[in-house]
Amino acid sequence: MISRRDFLQATVAASALWGASGVGNWSRLAAQQKLSQEKLLEFDKTGNVTLIHITDIHGQLVPIYFREPQINLGVGADQGLPPHVTGADFLKLFKIKPGTPEAYALTYLDFSALAKTYGKMGGLAHVATVIKAIRADRPDALLLDGGDTWHGSYTVLKTDGQDMVNVMNALKPDAMTSHWEFTLGKDRVNEIVKTLPFPFLGANIFDSEWEEPAYPPYKMFERGGSKIAVIGQAFPYLPIANPKWLFPGLSFGIRQDRMQAMVDEVKEKGADLVVLLSHNGFDVDRKMAKQVKGIDVILTGHTHDALPEPVMVGKTMLIASGSNGKFVTRLDLDVQDKQIKGFRHKLIPIFSDVIAPDAEVAALIEKQRAPYKKDLSEVLAHTGDLLYRRGNFNGTWDDLICNALIDQREADIAMSPGFRWGPSLIPGDAITREDLYNNTAMTYPQAYRSEMTGAQLKSIMEAVADNLFNPDPYYQQGGDMVRMGGMSYAIDVNQTAGKRISNMKLLKDGSPIEAGKSYTVAGWASVNEGTKGPAIWDVVEAWFKENPEVNIAPNKTVHVTGT
Amino acid sequence: MNLTRRDVMALGAGGAALAMLPLPASAADQAAIDAAIQKFTGGAKPKTSGVKLTAPEIAENGNTVPVEVEADGATEILVIAPNNPLPEVFKASFGPLSGGSSASTRIRLAGTQDLTAIAKMKDGSFAMAKRTVKVTIGGCGG
């Protein structure tokens, strides 16, 4: 499949010349058929500085299944490079055997069967155990949270994010950055930020009226005799990808010149190590690493990639720590003379059946969930098939949502946004209200119903496609492709804007979508203020009442070329 | 010096004089744009360095896009948005009392396009810079 495998191996393995990463340990564990907390935490302490990275938790307090993407295409300079390597290619690239715990944690292959063998992953009480163990080994380790933390669950929605704030505070982060946090509303974010015992960083967040910084850009730390600057970068396209009326007066953007200025400023202040705590997304970070001089480590986020080894861009090390609490990265660095002289890296998989939950944090999580226990655990339906969302194109969770929209809202066509969050369920699982909210909870859930012409539909799909497949990552807006229900289409990802989508057909009668004809379209999560309609979770709950046994076959309605 | 945007705005016209130029043209009318450049440069070929054009990669609001132009030693900078109904969106003029040859304002963009800034230097030469600004629909952010 990959024509440039040798080149790829050079890209990631070059780091092994002067450091080491944890993938070797993993393989050995698999060979021994032994998976223990001790082995998962085993780490040969290195150097004088330890960074702990967790990101994109999306409100997941307790363990979940999360199937990694089958299709995750890179375009332009990123084509074929990690993280745009999936499945069997991923296993080959990182020398992982099929069927092993790491194959289950890092790829979609054989997911349902392996999920039954290896169990759920994540859970912040289990994460707490890992963080405490690392701090026992290196008491002044820095814990950095890449954001998308106060979002994505029933309890986040009911508590305006307070559940996550309470539990994360118990883990004692040293700094965080943000994205979905702002969908709680600017006032709520500021109310929380006032209470945080650590800085909420965003070098690229500005007051849009006066173009002045709205949040602190960085924080300097003294660790292991070194001065460490942690610069925060929030998701650049918040006011475009999410409803800007929720955070009026704030402007974001990539602001590469600002980032260079911040790096220069912290170096002037004596930083020995410059760390970028980023919610840019991996490809944006890769470009930023090439263009901004002087960043030592980028802790990437937003695109949910989990990579068992750092990716090197020149002298900059890019770390990808996954999502939903599935992984925690430990990165030990030997910082001398303002340089990284050596490192050791491990992407620690949080196997919740192997790592014991921390009792204190488990009790705190229980306290957040207790008032909602009955609502959370109510069974709404059962699934006969794997339900997952993540991937560039339609997944079964969104196909389910689109089916519900078409049936309940009497529409020809349904659209579900290309979100990356949303855990999975395996065949035979009950679908609880918690599971439904894990894939829908947000502050702008209205399910709209409107008339659109074929030409309008195509122009929306073209715009979203360019936001995903523009060859320059700085011009990508952030999400996966909008999921279409009731319609099939073809997409050539390597075409230019406006020319990627073709062969659009209405599924119910196979007729071509006509540019001038009007269609009834239902969707949800519009960024427009004043969108009318019932909340998406109410639409899907109503649909479950009529469809208590859910079967969603793999989607074959999107024909992808140009990969 | 560390001037904030607020200070720069307070300095106002003492720094730079902005003129909105009405010159109708149909969307992306290349001939009209070439003519506008020709009129400004008098046919001289602009250098590709020496002027800096700052704008967001993707506009947060196409109706009010912050744009900044800067060219050391410039007497005038013209900014063209080729797909706008009036492509010559503004011209900044710098007199001897100007603190520096930079100006910032907000412009409206009718869709994705390559903004062009052309600076006329004191020595009569010209410099040009381009920047693609995308105006797109919202939603669907990861």
Residues with Cβ within 8 Å of B95's Cβ and at least 6 positions away in sequence, in order, are B17
Kindly state whether residues A333 and A475 are assigned to the same domain.
no
What pLDDT does A20 receive?
Answer: 59
pLDDT of A164 > 90? The answer is yes
- Cα atoms in the Cβ-side hemisphere of radius 13 Å centred on A105: 29
Q: Which of B5, B134, B141 sits opposite A241 (nearest CB)?
A: B141
Does residue A102 form part of some domain? no
What pLDDT does A21 receive?
Answer: 57
A2 confidence band (pLDDT: 50, 70, 90): very low
Mean confidence (pLDDT) of chain A: 93
Q: What is the ipTM of this complex?
A: 0.89
Kindly state whether residues A226 and A361 are assigned to the same domain.
yes
pLDDT digits over A513-522, tens only?
999 999 999 9
Helices A536-546 and A396-408: angle between axes, nearest 10 degrees: 80
Kindly state whether residues A188 and A271 are assigned to the same domain.
yes
What does the pLDDT average to over A139-152? 98
Residues with Cβ within 8 Å of A363's Cβ and at least 6 positions away in sequence, in order, are none
Closest CA of chain B from A528, distance in Å: 8
Does residue A326 form part of some domain? yes
Structural domain containing residue A237: 37-61+122-367
pLDDT of B3 > 70? The answer is no
- Mutation target among A58, A237, A257, A262 for the B interface, most CBs of B within 10 A: A237
What pLDDT does A88 receive?
Answer: 96
User: For A16-45, b where at least 16 C-beta lie within 10 A, e where not — what string?
Assistant: eeebbbbbebbbebbeeeebeeeebbebee
What pLDDT does A125 receive?
Answer: 98
Does residue A205 form part of some domain? yes
Q: Which of B60, B112, B142 sits opposite A479 (nearest CB)?
A: B142
Give A257 or A37, the one with higher predicted confidence.
Answer: A257
* Among A366, A368, A389, A449, residue whose Cα is nearest residue A414: A449
Q: How far apart are CA A215 and CA A201, in angstroms?
A: 6
pTM reported for the whole predicted model: 0.92
A377 confidence band (pLDDT: 50, 70, 90): very high
- Mutation target among A240, A256, A265, A283 for the B interface, most CBs of B within 10 A: A240
Kindly state whether residues A327 and A469 are assigned to the same domain.
no
Cβ neighbours, 10 Å, residue A10: 11
pLDDT of B14 > 80? The answer is no
pLDDT of A200 > 80? The answer is yes
Kindly state whether residues A402 and A551 are assigned to the same domain.
yes
Q: Across the interface, do A478 and B6 touch by the CB < 8 Å criterion? A: no
What pLDDT does B137 receive?
Answer: 78
Does residue A161 form part of some domain? yes
Q: Domain boundary at A337, A367, A397, which?
A: A367
Q: Domain boundary at A348, A367, A386, which?
A: A367
Range from A62-76, A232-246, A267-281, B25-39 carrying the lowest mean pLDDT: B25-39
Kindly state whether residues A215 and A259 are assigned to the same domain.
yes
Kindly state whether residues A142 and A244 are assigned to the same domain.
yes
What does the pLDDT average to over A333-338? 96
Kindly state whether residues A387 and A363 are assigned to the same domain.
no
What pLDDT does B36 receive?
Answer: 86
Kindly state whether residues A355 and A438 are assigned to the same domain.
no
Q: Across the interface, do B4 and A464 touch by the CB < 8 Å criterion? A: no
B134 chain-A contacts, CB cut-off 8 A: 466, 470, 475
A175, A179, A182, A183 alpha-carbon torsion, rounded to 10°: -140
Q: For the domain that residue A432 is a member of, what is the CATH number?
A: 3.90.780.10
Concatenate the DSSP letters of all residues of A43-90 into one string.
----SSEEEEEE---TT--S-BB-PPPS-----GGGTT-TTS--HHHH
Residue of B nearest to A482 (CA): B140
Kindly state whether residues A305 and A411 are assigned to the same domain.
no
Q: Does B93 touch chain A (CB under 8 A)?
A: no
Does residue A71 form part of some domain? no
Name residue, tokens 């069997």.
A88
Q: Which of A253, A421, A479 sits opposite B56 (nearest CB)?
A: A253
Q: Across the interface, do A241 and B5 touch by the CB < 8 Å criterion? A: no
Q: For the domain that residue A206 is a member of, what is the CATH number?
A: 3.60.21.10
Does residue A105 form part of some domain? no
Cβ neighbours, 10 Å, residue A353: 12
What does the pLDDT average to over A185-200? 98
Range from A9-23, A126-140, A438-452, B48-62 carrying the lowest mean pLDDT: A9-23
What's the total number of domains in chain A?
2
Kindly state whether residues A233 and A337 are assigned to the same domain.
yes
The tokens of A53 are what?
């990275």
Does residue A441 form part of some domain? yes
Does residue A29 form part of some domain? no
The tokens of A378 are what?
């109510």
Give A11 or B62, the one with higher predicted confidence.
Answer: B62
Helices A359-369 and A124-137: angle between axes, nearest 10 degrees: 150
pLDDT digits over B33-69, tens only?
888 899 999 999 999 999 999 999 999 999 999 999 9
Q: Domain boundary at A336, A367, A398, which?
A: A367
Domains along chain B? 18-133 (2.60.40.2470)
A304 chain-B contacts, CB cut-off 8 A: 142
Do A285 and A276 touch, CB atoms closer than 8 A? Answer: yes
Residues with Cβ within 8 Å of A240's Cβ and at least 6 positions away in sequence, in order, are A477, A527, B58, B59, B60, B136, B138, B141
Kindly state whether residues A137 and A268 are assigned to the same domain.
yes
What pLDDT does A400 receive?
Answer: 98
Range from A102-116, A160-174, A379-393, B96-110 carrying the lowest mean pLDDT: B96-110
